Amino acid sequence: MQTTVIGLGKMGRALATALVERGHDTTVWNRTPGRSGDLAVTHAATAADAFAANELVILCLLDSESVVAVLDGVDVRDRTIVNLTTSTPAEAAKLSALVAERGGDYLDGGIMAIPSMIGTPAAVVLYSGSEQAFRRAEDVLAAFGDRRYLGAEPGLAALNDIAMLTGMYGMFGGFVHAAAMVRTEGVPVVEFTETLLIPWLRGLFPALVGMAAQIDSGDYTAKESDLSMQVANDGIAEVSRAQGVSTELSEPLFTLMRRRVEQGFGGDDFPSVIELLS
Ligand code: NDP
């Protein structure tokens, strides 16, 4: 399928490269000319020309504002628009309505990868919005990596994308706090991370599925490590202070855990804390 790529920033260029490498006939447009390097692509002179060139148009721009700016003044009738620009669920819903109003079909996407991962099995792209658009574009989208269609609600990809980043930052936060602690005694952080932290976390990962099941069922009854025990043994705050390490990262979490115990849920497992969030 002939394809247009709008936006040749770091990510857009990676997407265009993946298409070309898999033999897709690709037309590109970028606001600033000269960004395609030696890629074997056709250059459209204007955004309107790029949209006119092919039925499938993939956008990867800085933000939703730039997408709105590019869509202004181009004809999207009968076009399948796949927007891989990071957006919020509200922005995705707005863009979907805008494209539909003007006769196009809209699919939103969230890229869970950095540019060098594009085209490898490690890259995952989440999609939501028009299922028809997804089915039509699926073979082309396969060039980027694993593809997951999450449903017709346009904002679902953005919501899941941000939720995954939320999980990632939680892990990063725990990592830097742990590193700050061992660093106070001169322990090499790489050694600690490779030999102790990663094996420990890897062993714990499967437990997340059990925690997720508790959240889905609403039954948080603890089997092994209840909140009362975890709060009573909060060595993190005590040892951090003793080592001169800030507790700014861990304190908000333990505040929630203590509040849950005060509410009478000390016999619950950790995921019970979610009831204080939503
Ligand atoms: P870059 O900053 O490298 O590229 C931004 C692109 O947007 C350029 O093509 C730029 O054009 C274009 N642009 C900006 N403003 C406008 C505008 N008003 N009108 C038209 N074009 C505009 O960003 P990336 O390529 O890294 O990121 C692109 C998207 O991909 C973002 O939404 C990002 O969140 C997402 N993403 C990026 C990842 C990464 O690791 N890089 C990872 C996952 C998602 P010009 O060249 O003219 O400035």
76-114 pLDDT per residue, tens: 999 999 999 999 999 999 999 999 999 999 999 999 999
Predicted complex ipTM exceeds 0.95:
yes
pLDDT band at 3 (very low <50, low <70, confident <90, very high): very high
How far apart, in whole angstroms, are the C-alpha atoms of residue 238 and residue 241?
5
Indicate the residue among 132, 152, 172 that finishes a domain: 152
Q: Is 263 helix (H, G, I), strand (E, B) or coil?
A: helix
CA 66 / ligand 1 centre spacing (Å): 9
85 lines ligand 1 (CB under 6 A): yes
| Ligand 1 pocket residue status of 187, Cβ below 6 Å | no
| Residue whose CA is at the smallest distance from ligand 1 atom 17 | 66
98 CA distance to ligand 1 centroid (A)? 21
pLDDT surpassing 90 at residue 1: no
> What mean pLDDT comes out for the span 131-141?
97
- Of 103, 129, 152, at which residue does a domain stop? 152
H/E element, 125: strand 124-129
Which secondary-structure segment (H or E) carries 205?
Answer: none
Structural domain range at position 26 = 3-152
Predicted local confidence at residue 236, as pLDDT: 96
Q: Give the residue whose CA is nearest to atom 40 of ligand 1.
A: 114
Is the CB–ligand 1 distance for residue 126 below 6 Å? Answer: no
pLDDT band at 130 (very low <50, low <70, confident <90, very high): very high
Q: What is the CATH number of the domain that holds 257?
A: 1.10.1040.10
Task: Determine if ligand 1 sits within 6 Å of the CB of residue 228.
Answer: no
Q: In this structure, are 143 and 191 located in the same domain?
A: no
> pLDDT (tens digit, 9 = 90+) per residue, 178-200?
999 999 999 999 999 999 999 99
Count of CB atoms situated within 10 Å of the CB of 249: 19
Q: pLDDT tens-digit profile of 138-179? A: 999 999 999 999 999 999 999 999 999 999 999 999 999 999
